[in-house]
Structure 1
Amino acid sequence: MTAPEIAGAEASGAAAAAPEHLEGRGAWFKKLPVVHQLRQSVGLQRGMLIAGLVLTAGFVLVAVLSPVLAPFGWSQLRDLDGAFGAQQPPSAEHWFGTTVGGYDVLSRVVWGARTALLVVVVAVASSIVVGVLLGLVSGYFGGWLDRMLVVVADAIYAFPSLLLAILLAIVISGGQSSMWGGIFAAALSITVVFVPQYFRVVRAEVVRVKQEAFVDSARVLGTGHWRIMTRHVLRNSTRTLPLIITLNASEAILTLAGLGFLGFGIEPTAAAEWGYDLQRAVADVTSGIWWTALFPGLAIVMAAMGMTLMGESLNDLSDPRLRSRARSRKVAGAVAATSVEADTSVAPVDTAEPKQKGDDA
């Protein structure tokens, strides 16, 4: 083989191996939870998931970058040019106008995203830790402890969630108006509402998983209860938690806004909170001052809608029946587009059997 032929063979071999190498490097990325569901989704499910991801990512970015994006502080009333003024319409100095208290609406909306994100993270993380631990212990051991925890969880779950959050916010806050005190008071009041949901889901999965053969094999081998609970049972009992987390995150934003709207949230001098700003803007709407209520309300709707769309899409994709039905429609459409119609211009072939001699007679 000549030198040019050898070089051409090496180039073709490298070109053929390149896609496999790139595919191997990107395989871990395709297996990520949200990316995997995004590649599985089709049609309306994909549109809902993409819209939810975009809105949620925008909410998180605004919350993280709030010190950079906000033109003023959340409780700032004046700058070098003087006081902002109350109920000023949107202008070049204040893009979203000012509130009845003289605060910049844009700054309050941006800083409110950080407050909402902190409350969501603390509430959901605390709910997961407490709810999963109680559900694991209750479902694995059973007995009188299981019955008692189920009764308590059902009682809390049957109680109106917003009313329970109001009562707990009053008890936990103790009249304090500091930023972190208000955030933890709101987050812990929401946590008590969310714990029964994680408890019931994890308990049901643990009751099912602990009857499997691999759990019995671990018991026969002398494995301790704690190792069986954490290594074998817990790993197979948390598959639906990501779906509940997204839905609970949107509910936490709405609950926080409800607490602030009713006057049980965070004080305006301690931190920015959308529900409080919306409550203060109710009287402005009747006077034709629309900007003080529009932007905080729009922020609540967009943040909650983004997490709800993402959670509903992931919930649909977790159902094999909905996923297979959507994929079958996609495959059927692809097959119909590539089908070939029969050519009727060719004369039909006579397939009649030849007559026998006896038939002519």
Structure 2
Amino acid sequence: MNTTAPKTEALSFKTPRTGGFFSRLPVVHQLRQSMGWQRGMLITGLVITGVFVLTALLAPLIAPYGFAQRKADSLAFGTQQPPSGEHLWGTTVGGYDVFSRVVWGSQTALFVIVIAVVFSIFLGVLLGLVSGYFGGWLDRVLVVLCDAIYAFPSLLLAIVMSIVISGGRSSMWGGILAAAISITVVFIPQYFRVIRAETVRIKAEAYVESARVVGASSSRIMFRHVLRNATRTLPLIFTLNSSEAILTLAGLGFLGFGIEPTAAAEWGFDLNKAVSDVSTGIWWTALFPGVAIVLVVLGITLVGESLNDLADPRLRGRRAVSAASGDVAETSVVPGGTLTAGPGGLDGLETPDPIGDEPGEVRS
């Protein structure tokens, strides 16, 4: 009996619809994949982070006063003034406008994040790639060195590096570079470990061996084949380290190793000067810088954790996986036809023959 079916019915899949360039962007792609709580966390984190970045970029337009301005129209602001129409969030013990200091402080934090994370990614990825690919004595030396740096408390190491670089206090760009470089030293071992582990795994893959056989140079293999596949987790580490950079910068400023108040606004320094105000009932000088630190760290952390969950298939919800995989039509498991092939269709393969054959027996 001929059970063949038209070839168009033998195997049928529906290809998922794909969007344009915008839908393939990293964060947009994860946003389309997310469902339920994951989507809510990711959107919340993106909104908070976006507000932080826009505030930092538009600080000269948003802030009513300069970060070191103490008077306007030849009139001093006054110290520890409560929130009012003239000063929305009051003034500090040094006579600075709190709202302006918080807005300008976002710009300082963004500069430190960008410089520190870019430097640490460049050095950490380069060292991890070279160490994992070549191995040998260089690998052992770099591993021991990075483990030794990683064993130190991050804030203590940042304080030591800040003192070495700038003596603990400096101008705006000097303080920003000092804080960024000190944070860079803390972050390099993290990127080094991740890239080295991925490089050791990838260099044993078949396509890397094939590249060696055809005569590709070591630099071409590292940067064209290994690096491209070893850096997939960097966006996750980038977001988490950005929030840690803000905390480290605030810790340096709070302990007195930050930037001079006349050189730039910094949230940790403002919190340090507001400690004595809290006990006297002056709450506004410490509340707003503290809330700014908490919100920015929360927003960046939510983005990082959401991207981490969506990057791991085991942590995605079943609905998210089903929505991302598209619709799959019925698939043929019988040569020459679909599941409906055979005498009597699928029922004919499983039910007893009405003439009296054994159950499940199929007549030819």
Moved over 6 A (4+): 328-331
Of 129, 132, 137, the residue aligned with 1:144 is 137
Q: Is the aligned partner of 1:287 residue 2:280?
A: yes
Match of 1:300 in 2: 293
Identity level (%)? 72
3-state SS, counterpart of residue 52 of structure 2: helix
* Residue 322 (structure 1) shift: 1.5
Cα displacement string for residues 198-235 of structure 1 (whole angstroms, at most 9, x for unaligned residues): 00000000001101111111111111111111000000
Aligned to 1:29: 22
Tell me what 2:327 maps to: none
Q: What does residue range 136-175 of structure 1 map to in structure 2 within 5 Å?
A: 136-174=129-167
Considering Cα pairs closer than 8 Å and 6+ residues apart, tell me whether 1 or 2 has the greater RCO. 2
* Pairing 1:184–2:177 present: yes
Structure 1 residues 80 and 159: CA distance shift in structure 2, 3 A: same
| 1:341-352 equivalent positions in 2, closer than 5 A | none
Residue equivalent to 1:14: none
Give, as a single letter, the amino acid of the residue that structure 1 aligns with 2:61: V
User: Which residue of structure 2 lines up, in the alignment, with residue 71 of structure 1?
Assistant: 64
Deviation at residue 27 of structure 1 after TM alignment: 1.7
Corresponding residue for residue 269 of structure 1? 262
Q: Does 1:203 align with 2:188?
A: no
Which stretch shifts more, 242-251 or 74-83?
74-83
Question: Which residue of 61, 80, 94 corresponds with 2:87?
Answer: 94
Quote the Cα distance in structure 1 between the aligned partners of 2:128 and 2:64: 46
What do residues 321-349 of structure 1 show as CA deviations (whole Å, max 9, x unaligned)? 11154537989xxxxxxxxxxxxxxxxxx
Give the SS at the match of 1:292: helix
1:225 maps to which of 218, 224, 243: 218
User: 1:132 is matched with which residue: 119, 125, 133?
Assistant: 125
- Superposed, 1:25-64 pairs within 5 Å as 26-64=19-57
Query: In structure 2, how many angstroms separate the alpha carbons of the residues matched to 1:328 and 1:316?
Result: 12
Q: Can you list the C-alpha shifts for 1:242-273, whole angstroms capped at 9, x where unaligned?
A: 00000000000000000000000111011000
Judging by fraction of residues, say which structure has more helix: 1
| Partners of 1:227 and 1:84 in 2: CA distance | 61
Alpha-carbon shift at residue 98 of structure 1 (Å): 0.2
Partners of 2:95 and 2:173 in 1: CA distance: 24
Q: Does 1:254 align with 2:224?
A: no
**Equivalent position SS for 2:21:** helix
1:245 correspondence with 2:251: no
1:281 partner SS: helix
Matching residue's letter, 2:208: V
Decide whether the 8 Å contact of 2:90 with 2:285 is kept in 1: yes
Distance 1:330 1:217, change over 3 A: closer
* Residue identity opposite 1:98 in structure 2: T
Question: Which residue among 213, 217, 234 is the counterpart of 2:206?
Answer: 213
Residue 295 of structure 1: CA displacement?
0.3
SS in 1 for 2:131: helix
Q: Deviations over 1:33-61 (max 9, x none)?
A: 00000000111111100000000000000
Question: How far, CA to CA, are the matches of 1:42 and 1:184 in structure 2?
Answer: 40
CA distance in 1, matches of 2:32, 2:158: 38
Stretch deviating more after TM superposition (170-179 or 212-221)? 170-179
User: How far off its partner does 1:174 sit?
Assistant: 3.0
- Provide the rounded CA distance (Å) in 2 between the counterparts of 1:162 and 1:329: 44
| Residues 67, 264 of structure 2: 8 Å contact kept | yes
Unaligned runs of 5+ in 2: 1-15, 325-364
The one-letter amino acid paired with 1:152 is: L
**Matched residue type, 2:91:** T
In structure 2, distance between residues paired with 1:88 and 1:201: 50
In structure 2, how many angstroms separate the alpha carbons of the residues matched to 1:24 and 1:41?
Answer: 17
Q: What is the DSSP-based 3-state SS (H/G/I as helix, E as strand, rest coil) of the residue aligned with 1:27?
A: coil
Pairwise CA distance, 1:175: 5.5
**RMSD (CA atoms):** 1.7
Q: Distance in 1 between matches of 2:18 and 2:135?
A: 45
Question: 2:304 — aligned with what?
Answer: 311
Tell me the TM-score normalized by structure 2. 0.83
Q: Secondary structure of 2:265's match?
A: coil
2:187 to 194, 197, 207: 194
Give the paired residue count: 309
> What is the distance in 1 between the residues matched to 2:98 and 2:192?
40
Name 1:11's counterpart in structure 2: none
CA distance in 1, matches of 2:323, 2:128: 40
Q: TM-score w.r.t. structure 1 length?
A: 0.83
